[in-house]
Structure 1
Amino acid sequence: MPATRRSTGGGRPAGRQATLSFNHRVTKSVPKSAKDLSSTPAKSPLAKHVIHAEPDVKEEADIDIDVDVEEKIQVGEPKEVVPEREKTEAELRANKITDRQIDQYWRNIESERRTKRLHQGALSLAEKILRYWDVSSQYGPCVGITRIKRWQRADRLGLNPPIEVLAVMMQEENKGTEGIERAHMDDVLNSTAIGAN
């Protein structure tokens, strides 16, 4: 008996493929609550507590022209005062670290090497220490996390990260050095990924 082919075409002529069309409406059901949200303006539960002050023409007319500029500034919206967070014990210890102690820390690291480091002549001592911190794998990964958070995580985990590194990070942050918060390795990997596109 000859082999027969089964067709799942459902009444279509053989050899003709159905075409896809993306011009029709989506037939997915949408819950009523989603329809209500799109038709009415969104109101926050906190909206009833916000007072929308509209300027009153009568009040503006009553303002004396001789008012000092300082008083006008005080009439405006108050500035938000952001309280400084309290420093941790480690940060207090890091503030007491001197430049001489940091230099001694780096000399101890360099004395363990057999040869002099190449290609780091133009880097500052702080950058050398922070790059060494970036590649010290015993403190966890350095990619995707800021240097200070990595130091804090290592401290919480009991890995005893060097206090000198925290001192360098805090000093550079106080100086306003740009790009100091992220690991150099993170920048290298991100630039490689961007360049691959």
Structure 2
Amino acid sequence: MLQPLVPEQVRRAVAAATTPATRLILAFAAVHAPRVAQIATLMLDDVDIGNRRLTIAGRVRPLDDLTLKLLLNWLEHRRTRWPNTANHHLLINNQTANRTTRASNHWISTAIRGQAATLERLRVDRQLEEAMDHGPDPLHLAEVFGLDEKTAMRYADSARRLLETSAESWSVVAASTDDQC
């Protein structure tokens, strides 16, 4: 069964993200749940700031306030650091700024490597959170994140179990409270 991250794990990952690029990468994983390779292949054209949209792997997603802020910070940093780059990838670094290739998956995930809340764990946590917040509906998960049916059913099943466990815990607490009254 998939398990959510604990807040301390997320806090440590946030603290490890110290550059504009890593902060944006962390937000992508935690809010929009793309895989590392999908983050690496994002292009400047995948960002529509005026309409507050982001296209990841062909799926259009609304840009939340946090991601928008971090995206604007990154774009300003990118423009200042590499004003003449011809690279149309959203995320570039010293090695890719003078070429047109994408940044490596290794570079994308380096900043929080070694953390309990890796980019992959943040992605999984976000999808599990969606399943718990909006009900364990695999069709909803497949639509929001572009998951295949088996993966969507696995997230829905884990969310259902977590919700049932939580409900059972509350029943025990409520019964205990009633006994004390």
Instruction: Say whether the fold is shared (TM-score over 0.5).
Output: no
Q: Please, what TM-score do these two structures have when normalized by structure 1? A: 0.26
Rg: which structure is higher?
Answer: 1
Q: Which has the higher helix share?
A: 2
More strand by share: 2
